[in-house]
Amino acid sequence: MPDSPEKPKRTVRIRGAAARDIERINDIYNQAVITTTATFDTEPKSLDDQRGWFAHHDANHPVLVAEEEARVCGWASLSQYSDRAAYARTVEVSIYVAEEARGRGVGSSLMNAIADAARQLGHHTILARITADNPVSVRLHQHAGFEMVGTMREVGFKLGKLLDVHIMQLVI
């Protein structure tokens, strides 16, 4: 069977997200909600939901976007892991890439930028929760230096199947 053609790589620009990006962030996220197990949300988010999520992020918990040809094609965020004070230097990473932009290095560019931001902000640990049936995301995190630290068995049910979740960690 012949290999599928690779999608052409384009120049990806990473920048801090702004309020004007919320609609596109929401579109990308909802695409994942509906078609993948990358998130355990099962219903699309409204723009108001996404605005609330965005407002909950601050200078210490940034949201970044990737642009190709001036169009947002992916996003990454650092979120508070827990509201307990001892976890203040631990964050959770999220990365989502629009379906049409996958396979062109957008995820890697976002991962590098968000990990750099975490370092600059003085965070110590980045955690990721990744469904076991998402080997692309596992590899993305491994290439960035994340290590597998555990698996929660059958903790989610989506798209007709029980799902395990890997916990990956990067100590920075």
pLDDT band at 1 (very low <50, low <70, confident <90, very high): very low
Q: Number of H helices and number of E strands within the chain?
A: 4, 7
What is this structure's pTM?
A: 0.92
pLDDT one-digit tens code per residue, 83-117 = 999 999 999 999 999 999 999 999 999 999 999 99
Q: Give, in order, the Cα–Cα distances in Å from 64 to each of 61, 138, 169.
A: 10, 20, 20
Model pLDDT, residue 9: 59
pLDDT band at 137 (very low <50, low <70, confident <90, very high): very high
Query: What CATH class is the domain 12-123?
Result: alpha beta
d(CA 63, CA 79): 9
d(CA 149, CA 133): 17
Average pLDDT, the chain: 95
Residue 136 has pLDDT above 50, yes or no: yes
